[in-house]
Amino acid sequence: MNIAFKIFGVLALLAIIGVATVMIVMDRMHAKSRRQITQIVSEIRPGMPFHAVASRLGRANETLTNSADIAVRGTTKDDKIVTNTVLNLFVHNAIPFRWICVYTDRDSNVVYASWKDM
């Protein structure tokens, strides 16, 4: 009976260590992804041509032109930006997956860029 408690105790300790390890790894992955995406978005400046952004990020996964869709899917509620721009959504392929939102004017110049969780 005493050996059964020892085995159970060791298994419980291993389970706790395993859960803690998974939590630490996930936290570090989230922090690394946040640093990466913040760096990428900080390099996208207003006035930058969209083709320069596309060459850095690849092809946009989604392009929204309807202001109602832009208001729902985008990261800003500023009416000036929402009504006068096109929203291009790129996927940042690091865990967790996040959207890189690039707002461009009708001349394909960047107006605003940000990111959000999927």
Residue 112's beta-bridge partner residues? Answer: 103
CB 59 within 8 A of CB 71: no
CA atoms within 13 A on the CB side of 25: 7
| Residue ranges per structural domain of the chain | 2-117
Q: Residue 1: is its pLDDT beyond 70?
A: no
CB 113 within 8 A of CB 89: no
pLDDT in tens, 9-64: 899 999 999 999 999 999 998 899 889 989 989 999 998 998 999 898 889 898 88
H-helix or E-strand spanning residue 113: strand 110-117
Residues 13, 16: Cα–Cα separation, whole Å: 5
pLDDT of residue 21: 95
pTM: 0.77
- CATH number attached to the domain at 2-117: 3.30.1450.10
